[in-house]
Structure 1
Amino acid sequence: MRKSINNGSNSWQDDGNGAVVVLIHGFAENSQLWEEQAAALASHYRVIIPDLPGTAGVPLTTPLSIDSMAEYVYAILLAEDIKNITVIGHSMGGYVALAMAEKYPGLLKGLGLFHSTATADSEEKKEGRRKSIKMMQQYGADTFLRQTLPNMFSPVFKAGHPAVVEAYVKMGAACPLPTLIAYYEAMMVRPDRTAVLKSLPVPALFVIGKDDVAVPPEVVLPQITLPRISSIHIFEEVGHMGMWEVKEASEVILQQFIAFCQL
C-alpha cells in the first residue's frame, strides 16, 4: 500500500503486519529495489520502504544530506506512531540507516548494512564522485548510468542476466539528474560513523559481495568486529546488488536477521 504525508513530500510503501522493518534504497534507486524481499517479508512483518527525496515523484529537498534523509524517514515513523524498527539500507541507504542509529539509538532493534559501509568517502572516492557529476552535467545522466550501473553486478551475473541489468538501468534512468547530483554531494560530505557501530546496542547485519566494486570487501571487513553482535554474509560472484543477484538467499538472510532482532 502506497502512503504519503505532507502533500506527498514523504512517500513510502507500507505492507504487512507485525514488527516493523524499514528497507532503505540507495543511489539511483527507489522503493522498487526491495520488491522481492518485501513480498517475502510482508507475510511475517510490517515492511516500510520509503522513496527518498527526489525519487518516485517525491520532491527533492534542499539542501540534501544523509542526515536530512534520516530525518525524512523518521518523519514517516512519527506519522505512523512507530516506536521500534529493524532498519536495513542498501549502499547510500546504509548511510541513512547509520545516521538514524546515531540520532535515535533507542528506536532500533537491529541495523543492516547491505553492501554499505560506516566509513566516510576516501579522497579518491570523492574525486571519483566529482568526475561523475561533471560527466552527468556534460553528457546527461543516461550516458553516465548506462556506463556505471551495469558494473554494480558481478561479471558472471551481468553476462548471464542482461534483462535484470537493463531493469536496474531503467530504474536509475527514472531518477532525475538534480537528484543524482544531490545524492553524490550528500555522500561526499557524510561523516565517518564507525563509532556508531562500536556503540551499537543491537545486532548488526553485514552483507558483502566479493565482486562489489562500489563497496569492496576490504572496506567493510574491518568493520564487522566493531558491533557487539554481528551477522556476516559474504557472497561469491556477487557484486553490489545482492538483493537482485541472490534474491532467495537475501530473503532468507533478512528473515533470519529480523527474527533474531525480535528476541
Structure 2
Amino acid sequence: MTRAIILAAGRGSRMGELTAEQPKCFARLHGRRLLDWQLGALRGAGIERLGLVRGYRGECFDEPLTYFENPRWQQSNMVRTLLAADAWLATEACIVSYSDIFYSAATVAALSRVEAGLAIAYDPHWYALWSQRFADPLADAESFRLDANGNLATIGERCQSVAEIEGQYMGLLKFTPGGWTQVRELLQRLGDDAVDRLDMTSLLRLLLQAGMPIAVSPVQGPWGEVDAADDLALYHRIMPLAAIAP
C-alpha cells in the first residue's frame, strides 16, 4: 500500500468562522491542522504517495502532494470528489480519508492489511465518544451492523435503539483497483445528477444493495471527527496531546 487520497473539496459550513477563509482541514487540534494529523498518520503507516482533492479555497494548499480538483464542489457531494481521484483509484490500492477526521497510523496500517476490494474503518466502541459529543447520541448516530461473515450488513439508517448499532463509520476507506471498478460501474448506471447528490454513506448502502461485500477494520487508538467547533473544544479537553501524538 503506497497511496492515500484525502478528500478536502468541501467547505464544512457547520464549522462557521473556522472555515470562512480556509479549508475545513486547516482547523487546529493541539496546534496542528487536521491535515497535519492526517498526513502524519498516513506517513506513519508507510504510505509514500499522498494525494488530495481540492475544491473550496484550493489555493491554500501548498504541501508537496499530488493534487486532484473538484471544480464543482459547491454543486456536488463527497462521491463526486472521490471520482476526481479516479486515475489513482483505478491503478493501485488506495486509502481514502475524509479531511475532517484524525486517527492513528495503527488504524491506517490495519485497514491497509484487509484483503478486500472495499474496506472501511469503524469504531466498535463508538458510544463512549458519541455520548460526549451529543446530548442524545441517537440523534446523530446511524445504523451499523455486521453480517455472519463479519462484513458490513447495514449502514446509515436512523435507529431507535443503541442495540441496532455495532459501531460507527469513521470516514476512512480502502479501495483496490478491482473494488473501485465495481464502484465506478455502479456510479455510471446512476447518471451525473444522482452522483452529484450522493454522499459516501449512501454510496456504501447502494453497494450493499448491489451485493458488493464491504469488509471492516476496527479503529486502533484515538480518533475523532470534526463536524463543528464544539467538537474541537471537546477533543482538546478529553484527548491530551500525548494521547494522540504518534
Please indicate the TM-score interval, normalised by the length of the shorter structure: 0.3 to 0.5
Q: Which has the higher contact order (CA 8 A, sep 6+)?
A: 2
* Higher strand proportion: 2
Structure with more helix by fraction: 1
The two structures have a TM-score, normalised by structure 1, of: 0.33
- State the TM-score, normalizing by the size of structure 2: 0.35
